[in-house]
Structure 1
Amino acid sequence: MSEENMRQNISVNESKEPVITVVGLGAGDPGHLTRAGWEALRRADRLFLRTAIHPTVPSLKEAGLVFETFDPLYESAESFDDLYSEIASRLIKTAESGPITFAVPGHPRVGEKAVALLLEEARRRNWSVEVIPGVSFLEALYTAVGFDPARGLTVLDGLDLAPEDLDGRRATVITQVYAQRIASDVKLTLMELYGDEHPVTVIRAAGVAGEERIAEIPLYELDRLDWVDHLTSVYVPPLSAADAEASENSEKRSEAPSEPSSGAPADRQVDYALDPLVEVMDRLLAPGGCPWDREQSHQSLKPYLLEEAYEVLEAIDLGDDGKLKEELGDVLLQVVFHGLIAEGEGRFRISEIVETITEKMVRRHPHVFADTKVADAGEVLVNWEAIKAKEKGDKPSRSPSGIDRISTAMPSLLRAEKVQKKAARFGFDWPDEQGPLAKVQEEWEELLEAAGYGRLDGGFDSAGSRERDIARLRDELGDLLFAVVNVSRFLQINPEEALQRTVDKFIRRFRHVEDCCRRDGREMARCAIEELDVYWEEAKARERQT
């Protein structure tokens, strides 16, 4: 079929002069622009480009073509859906006053959501539309990876990729992998079906002479390439027949209903085996596995365990069940990771982790698993502490309270609260909150004195020398913070949560100040603090109204 016939066959209402002409610029090389496409661009009265970030655009400028682009919208749009919708809306509005030409990278019908929205609205209005194809990135990609699409191919958008979209029996191309962040999301989604070592081919600027870059890498390295950009796609070859069958059987097993155990809700899946996760981590830690995972130790993983625990707390505060499920899984991964490291060093088996905690929970709940009677939750805590003391009876402590066994790795606010609670159980405590409040005042005044300030007529004034004893200042500040934690304990407020909420509040208000500066065309760093404080008070007033 000739190019002219192809162009006519995909025209809408071709008997009329087209209101909208859509042109494909090709995969990247200026030579990919068809003759029909070039003629349409050259005769366009009003030419719009979705983006000027395309290798063909410089040749259009050299030819003297005048055009507008939608690149500024990429900065202001909240999402790509909003972006494409806004582009289509503006084009329709402009076309109401006369014909327009809209040019997009590649082929207009391949992965161009703005074009799809534009054509849908044009059909609704019964407007004539002409679509002129260009060489899409797919044609260039077939050549680059040596793949025949007749064998079956799935094309998916990396910005909207879901596990249910994947079919391991067919080759897959993931588009719009334009940044390492997107590559990371794509990698995690692909890992739900493909093994970490499954080979993938990353292609940048396919078919563009001098710019094309191709790398075949294992899947786990997908987000480690620093050269991915807006011209990057990922080719995922199909699974082998054996792997595809194994994946399908695994999916069927996960979907099969299981018999509930006694006491479990009828709709609860009760197969809690860690085996699948352990098998994955075993493979990653084995010779030939993941280089990064194999380099880790208990010490190097400490920050990740703490980070994942805090992200669980965040998910709880947000009330986001999907996020909570994901973050709990991340914590479980850390547990398995540490367990397998210990097992590899011959210290203990990973199964002993489950055995130990199971035995402990049964042992510490004799009111459930034995014949001990309790009146309320208070008695449960008393029994719990008594059982703990008995368990650790062969491990001498320097104090009967066990206060020295509180972990030094805890965040300081949490550790301070635990120490105070331990001491209170032995009667070392204030009778009411008046004592802690007075202590805060006392520690505040001692900090002022250490900082070189004195109280004069109810205000603050310099107390002479500005040379400060840093060690004393640190001690006095620590005393003040410890006293504040004591107040929070009496007020039954978690100090860690209270501080987190205040930090979040500060960030919200600070963002408002930044937005106000941008709105008023001012550079924040050049504003006086009094001017910024006006915006700050505005943020506080808005919070009170909501």
Structure 2
Amino acid sequence: MSGQITAVGLGSGDVGQLTLAIWNLLRESKHLYVRTEHHPVMELIRDHGVRYTTFDRVYEAYDSFPAVYDEISRQLIELALKSPSEEIVYAVPGHPMVAESTVSLLRERCEQQGIKLRVLGGESFLDQAFNRLGFDPIDGFQLLDATMLNPAVLSPQLHILIGQVYDTFTASDVKLGLMDIYPDDYEVVVGHALGVQGMERIQRVPLHELDRVEGYGNLSLIWVPRTTDDAVRNRTFARLHEIVAILRSPEGCPWDQEQTHQSIRKNLIEETYEVLETIDDDDPVGMQEELGDILLQVMLHSQMEEETGTFNVYDVVQGLNEKLLYRHPHVFGEQNAKDAETALQHWEQMKAEEKRLKGVDTARKSALDGVPRDLPALMKAYKIQKKAAKVGFDWDQVEDVLDKVGEELQELREAVSSCNAQGQTAEAMHHAQEELGDLLFAAVNVSRFIDSDPEEALSQTNRKFVRRFQYIEEQLRINGKSFDQTDLLEMEQWWQEAKRLES
């Protein structure tokens, strides 16, 4: 071995929590280092003339706690390597293995450097939390770090203890994270120096006042009591999964039980268009509701497969997460993307690599593959044209495409005239339909050259038509008329009036 480090715990605050073995070790140590001097036991150490070195200066030199912890562990490793025959004693608040990042780093690095690491416990803040706050950990609890709080991992059905609440700024971050799940007025408990005589302070406050509490420091924590309140649980993904499973269960809803992928297939399409409508109307309230309906369709289809044992919604989430990570090497990897076009190129490259790894024979695949079969025709035309253009099958300039539109329009005129002359036979009408399709296809080509999605362009025109037509209806109502009491000339006048009002 190339040295020895002994990590010891100073307890959660009160000197009475310090074990005799640790106290003797502290007094006898020739090389005593403490993570911070801001701990009640340090007064006892000073009173007995025990010499020590504090790492408080490291906190002043770095902007983030991870950087501080990394530097402290690095210095301790360096000290142990310089004096392999001497024991380095490192004292930390609480228990060395409870919410102590520096010791976690030492456990990893000491083994790599051949340094012997010994850990001696001390009462952690958890002991005092269970005692002073009065809840039994057997009910289930989460221990979280305030500096790395992720709302996605919060489990409201468990007690939640949050340590490392060093200051008001950290408490504010905790408050914002908790508000993703809990109501603003949810009661939480702040504990300062639990179990330390003369210093302990326990406050119950509504969540929105969490960062107004004074006295945050090294001995502070936050307790979020567990709850079974649906108002809280209903903000979690796990609860959604549970509800959908219940609806599909034998004790659930008869309608939901009967549904299959095919029976609700159309719902997915309808809900998608309802979301698009809220986007077009700039309606965030409606968008929230409609996005929920889309999510319900995802949950139902996933639940059906979970019942057969093929996959569940968490497999869906995992697959999506892995795809996003893999296809964004310029974000989660070492590549760079200076603009959106480069980012899209990375996406397509990684997508092709995925197919290769899956054993897909790209040499035998069409350049038009990947366009969903059941897309609306206008959108599908746009996508297959873009794919064809990528391999060079495209017009050189928009003027050529406009000429093509004129050509197709003339052919449609001729087909319609022929259809009328032949008495609208099935063959003539089919030919006219083909020419109409060619004209629409050419118009979609124009949309690519002017960088305008044809689906959006037509949707915009549809909305414009509805507005103007409804203006005509309103004018008829004001004038006490119906459609059979007006004529095209009068309606055209109101149409032009609607156009002027829009400009």
User: What is the TM-score of this pair, normalised by structure 2?
Assistant: 0.51
CA shift, 1:537, in A, is: 2.1
Does the aligned pair in 2 maintain the 1:512–1:539 contact within 8 Å? yes
Quote the Cα distance in structure 2 between the aligned partners of 1:252 and 1:440.
Answer: 61
Between the aligned partners of 2:283 and 2:484, the Cα distance in structure 1 is 37
Aligned equivalent of 2:411, options 421, 443, 446: 446
1:21-420 equivalent positions in 2, closer than 5 A: 267=176, 274-393=237-356, 394-396=359-361, 400=365, 402-420=367-385
Is 2:274–2:290's contact at 8 Å kept on the other side of the alignment?
Answer: yes
Query: Post-superposition shift, 1:318?
Result: 2.6
Shift of 1:417: 0.9
Q: Structure 1 residues 339, 464: CA separation in 2 closer, same or farther (over 3 Å shift)?
A: closer
Alpha carbons of structure 1 residues 370 and 265: separation in structure 2 relative to 1, 3 Å: farther
Q: How far 1:270 sits from its partner (Å)?
A: 6.4
C-alpha separation in 1, matches of 2:433 and 2:377: 14
- Deviation by residue 1:127-178 (Cα, 9 ceiling, x = unmatched): xxxxxxxxxxxxxxxxxxxxxxxxxxxxxxxxxxxxxxxxxxxxxxxxxxxx
What code does the residue aligned with 1:422 have? K
Q: 1:431 aligns with which of 396, 407, 416?
A: 396
1:364-383 Cα shifts (integer Å, max 9, x gaps):
11222222233433222222
How far is the alpha carbon of 1:340 from its aligned partner? 0.4
AA at the equivalent of 1:471: H
Deviation at 1:337, TM superposition (A): 1.0
Could you list the structure 1 runs, at least 4 aligned residues long, displaced by more than 4 angstroms after superposition.
250-254, 256-261, 268-273, 397-401, 462-466
AA in 2 matched with 1:274: F
- The CA deviation at 1:345 is 2.7
Corresponding residue pairs, total: 285
Larger radius of gyration: 2
Q: Describe how 1:450-461 pairs up with structure 2 within 5 A.
A: 450-452=415-417
2: CA distance between counterparts of 1:430 and 1:266? 57
- 1:476 matches 2:435: yes
> Unaligned regions of 5+ residues in structure 1, if any?
1-249, 455-461
For residue 264 of structure 2, give the secondary structure of its aligned residue in structure 1. Answer: helix
Shift of 1:534: 2.2
Match of residue 468 from structure 2: 509
Q: Residue 407 of structure 1: SS of its match in structure 2?
A: coil
Structure 1 residues 265 and 299, CA gap change in structure 2 (3 angstroms):
farther
Aligned equivalents of 2:269 and 2:307: distance in 1? 23
Distance in 2 (CA, whole Å) between partners of 1:414 and 1:490 is 15
8 Å Cα contact 2:367-2:388 kept in structure 1: no
Q: Could you tell me whether the CA contact under 8 Å between 1:366 and 1:372 is conserved in 2?
A: yes
Contact 1:401 1:426 in 2 (8 A): no
Counterpart in the other structure of 2:29 = none
Provide the alpha-carbon RMSD of the alignment: 3.2
The residue identity in structure 1 corresponding to 2:353 is K
The 3 A distance-change label for structure 1 pair 417 and 399 is: farther
User: CA shift at 1:527, angstroms?
Assistant: 2.4
Q: Which amino acid aligns with 2:462?
A: V
Counterpart in 2 of 1:49?
none
Displacement of 1:280 in angstroms is 0.9
Query: What residue number does 1:30 align with?
Result: none
Query: Where does residue 524 of structure 1 map in the other structure?
Result: 483
Matching residue within 437, 447, 451 for 1:492 = 451
Question: Does the C-alpha gap of structure 1 residues 450 and 368 become closer, same or farther in structure 2, counting only changes over 3 Å?
Answer: same
Alignment partners' CA distance in 1, 2:256 and 2:338: 49
* Per-residue CA distance 1:462-494 (angstroms, 9 max, x = gap): 757554622222221111111111111111112
Task: Answer whether contact 2:272 2:294 (CA < 8 A) is retained.
Answer: yes
- Is the 1:440–1:484 contact (alpha carbons within 8 Å) kept by the matching residues of 2? yes
Change (3 A) 1:322 1:265: farther
- CA separation in 1, counterparts of 2:500 and 2:174? 48
| Displacement of 1:296 | 1.6
